Amino acid sequence: MSVAIFSATINIVQEGDPRTFDPHFGNDGFSLRINRLLYSRLLEKNSNMETVLGVAKSYKFIDNKTINFTLKDNVFFQNGENLTSEDVKFSFERMKKSPRIAGILPPIKEIIIKDKYNFQMILEKPFSSIIDQLTHPALSIVSKNYLTKNPDILVEQPMGSGKYILESWSPGEGLVLERFENYFDTKPTYEKINIKTIPLATNRTIALETGEADIAFSLPPQDEKTINSNENLKFISKPSYSYTYMGLNLKKDIFKDSNIRKGINLAIDKEAILEVVLNGEGKIANSPVAKGVKGHNPNLKNLGYDKNEASKLLTPLKDKILTLATMSNNIDIQTAEIIAGYLNDIGVSVQITVLEPSIYWFKTNSGEFDMFIGSWGSVTGDSDYALYPTHHSSAFGAPGNRTFFSDEKVDKLLEEARSTLDKNKREIIYQQIQEIIVNNNSEVMLFYRDLNGALNKKVQGFEMYPIPIHDYSLGTIY
C-alpha cells in the first residue's frame, strides 16, 4: 500500500510587503493577507464568502442593538494564554483608537463581560452589516496582557491566536510563517509558509516556472497560455469583489468643476484598457460596488468614451500638468500609462509617479497627487464596506476616502443604510447612493478585475477568495 507524502512547506510569491503586523493599524491588502493567519476573529469568511464561527462558539441577537456571544474555551494565544472575554473587550476598545480602521469598525458602544467566555456586545444603534463586518481581518482579537506591557509591540512582533506564528521577516524580501501547533481549529497541513516579495509580475511567473514558487499571485493575464502549456502548472482565476478606478483628488480646485470631472471620464476608453491590461479578463465597472457584492446596482452605466466631447470639456486643463500616482505593479503602471496617453492625446499633460506600496499609501492618504490609480475590495462582501470607508466624509485619507469625496446626502444615506435592518429597503438605499456617486464623476470607474494566480499541480485543495486576501494555509502539496 502506497502512502501519500506531503510537503511540510509551501512557497508563495506575492507583489508586496505587509505595512504592519498590528491588525488594528493596517488595512492594506498585504497586511490583511498575513494578519488573517496570525490572528483570529469572532467570526470568519470562508472562500465562498459565507460567514462561519471563529473564536466565537455561538452568538444570539437579544434585540437589534444587543448580541450575546459565547467564546470557545480552547482558544489560546501563541504565548500560551487563554483567549477570554477580557481580550475581546480590550481589542474592541483598542480598535476605537485607530484612525486607520475608523470606516470599518462597527458602532460598538460597549462590551459587557458576563464571565470568562461570555460577553454582551452593545451597539450604539442598529447596524445591519454587523455580522459581515466582524469577519474583517482588521477586527482581530489581540492579547490584553501582551499589549499592556508594550502597546506598540505588534507592529514588528505579532502574537495572536491564528494558524501561524511569524518566524522571520526581511522587509522588501519576504517572510516565513510557522504553524501554531496549539491552534484551536483544524490544523493546516503546512508546517511553514515561505512568502517571497517579487514586485514585477513577470518575475513571479518565472519563479513559478523554475520551481522557486508553488503558488504565485497577480500575474499578467497574458501569461495564461504559457502557464497552462506547462504540464506541471495551472492558471487559476476568479471573478472578484475588487474595484479598480482612477481617483480624482477633490481637494484640488481643478476638480471642483463637474465638467472637468466629466471630461476626464469621457477621455478614457475603459474597454481598451480592459483588453490591453487584463486581456479581457474582468468587467467594465458601472459602480464603486463590484458585481456580486450585496447591494450592487446593475442598472447604472459607465460614462463611456467620447474623445471629442472630452477635448471640449477639458480645454481649461490644456496648459496644466496633472500628477498621477500609481503603485509599482504591472497592471496599475500599465493602466496609468494608457490613461496618460489618452489625456495627452487631447492636449492634457500627465506626469506619472510610480511608488512602492507603503509610500503610495502615505502620499495618497495625504492628498499629494491630482489623481491616483486605486482599488478597493469589499472584504466583507457587503455594500457598506464597499462604500462607507471610501465615500463617507468621516473617512478621509487612511480609512479609504482618498478622493476626499464629501456629499451630505451620501453621508446621511450611508448612515441610514447601516441602521436599516430590512434587506430590501437597505438595497434600495445603496442603489441610490451608487447613483449619486456615479453621476458625480468623482472617480473614473475602470474595471472589476478577475483575481488570478497560478500553482504547481502538486498543490491540491487551494481555493481563491473573491477578495485579494486569500487564505494561504488552504491545501496540501503532494
pLDDT value, residue 44:
97
- Strands 51-53 and 43-45 turn out to be antiparallel
Q: What is the pLDDT of residue 69?
A: 99
Q: Among candidates 127, 128, 125, 115, which has minimal Cα distance to 68?
A: 115
Residues 216 and 10: their CA atoms lie apart, in Å, by 11
Residue ending a domain, among 92, 120, 145, is 145
333-339 long-range CB contacts below 8 Å, 24 or more apart? Answer: 334/276, 334/277, 335/244, 335/246, 335/273, 335/277, 335/373, 335/446, 336/373, 338/272, 338/273, 338/276, 338/277, 339/246, 339/268, 339/273, 339/373, 339/444
If residue 233 lies in a helix (H) or strand (E), which one and from where to where? Answer: strand 233-248
CB 94 within 8 A of CB 154: no
Other beta carbons within 10 Å of 136: 23
In 342-423, where do the E strands start and end? 349-355, 371-377
In a domain, 220, yes or no: no
Q: What is the pLDDT of residue 407?
A: 98
Task: Enumerate residue ranges in the chain where pLDDT < 70.
Answer: 1-6
Q: Where residue 134 sits, what CATH number does that domain have?
A: 3.90.76.10
Q: What total of structural domains would you count in the chain?
A: 2
Residue bearing cell 487564505: 471
User: How many helices, marked H, and strands, marked E, lie in the chain?
Assistant: 14, 19
Q: What is the pLDDT of residue 2?
A: 42
The residue out of 103, 129, 145 marking a domain boundary is 145
In a domain, residue 27? The reply is no
**Could you tell me if 130 and 250 lie in one domain?**
no
Return the number of other C-beta atoms located less than 10 Å from residue 81's C-beta: 15
Q: Are 439 and 432 in contact (CB under 8 A)?
A: no
Q: Is the dihedral of CA 304, 309, 311, 313 positive or negative?
A: negative
User: Which SS3 state, helix, strand or coil, does residue 397 take?
Assistant: coil
Q: Are residues 280 and 399 in the same domain?
A: yes
Residue type at 16 in one-letter notation: G
> In which residue are the cell numbers 497577480 written?
218
Q: What backbone torsions phi and psi does residue 355 show, to the nearest 5 degrees?
A: -130, 145
Give every strand in the sheet of 56-63, ordered side by side.
56-63, 66-71, 118-123, 108-115
User: Same domain, yes or no, for 310 and 446?
Assistant: yes
Q: Which of 387, 365, 391, 369 is nearest to 377 (CA)?
A: 387
Contact 419, 126 (CB under 8 A): yes
Does any domain span residue 333?
Answer: yes
* Distance separating alpha carbons of residues 360 and 383, to the nearest angstrom: 25
Question: What is the Cα–Cα distance from 395 to 372, expressed in whole angstroms?
Answer: 17
Residue 197 placed within a domain = no
Q: Would residue 478 count as lying in a domain?
A: no
Q: Can you tell me the distance from the alpha carbon of 251 to that of 415, in angstroms, rounded to the nearest whole number?
A: 23
The domain that holds 257 is classified in CATH as 3.10.105.10
Establish if 208 belongs to a structural domain. Answer: no
Cβ density class 50-79: b for 16+ within 10 Å, e for less: eeeebbbeebeeeeebebebbbbeebebbe
Residue 263 sits in which domain range? Answer: 239-450
Are 324 and 335 in contact by the 8 Å Cβ rule? The answer is: no
Is residue 159 domain-resident? no
Give the residue among 169, 465, 200 at the shortest CA–CA distance from 327: 200
Return d(Cα 446, Cα 273) in angstroms, integer. Answer: 8
pLDDT at residue number 107: 94
Quick check: 291 and 298 in contact, CB under 8 A? Answer: yes
**Which positions ≥6 away from 419 have C-beta within 8 Å?**
125, 126, 127, 128
pLDDT of residue 5: 56
Same domain (yes/no): 141, 246: no
Domain end, chosen from 90, 111, 145, is at 145
247 with 390, same domain? yes
Quote the pLDDT of residue 149: 86
DSSP conformation letters of 403-428? S----HHHHHHHHHHHH---HHHHHH
> Bridge-partner residues for 59, per DSSP?
69
Whether residue 352 lies inside any domain: the answer is yes
SS3 assignment, position 307: helix
Region at 397 (left for phi over 0; alpha for psi -120 to 50; beta for the rest): left
Strands 215-217 and 9-14: parallel
Residues 416 and 270 in one domain: yes
CA distances from 51 to 21, 48, 221 (A): 24, 9, 30
Q: What is the pLDDT of residue 1?
A: 40
Helix axes 423-440, 408-419, angle to 10 degrees: 160
Q: Quick one: 389 exposed, middle or buried, by C-beta within 10 A (0-12, 13-18, 19+)? A: buried
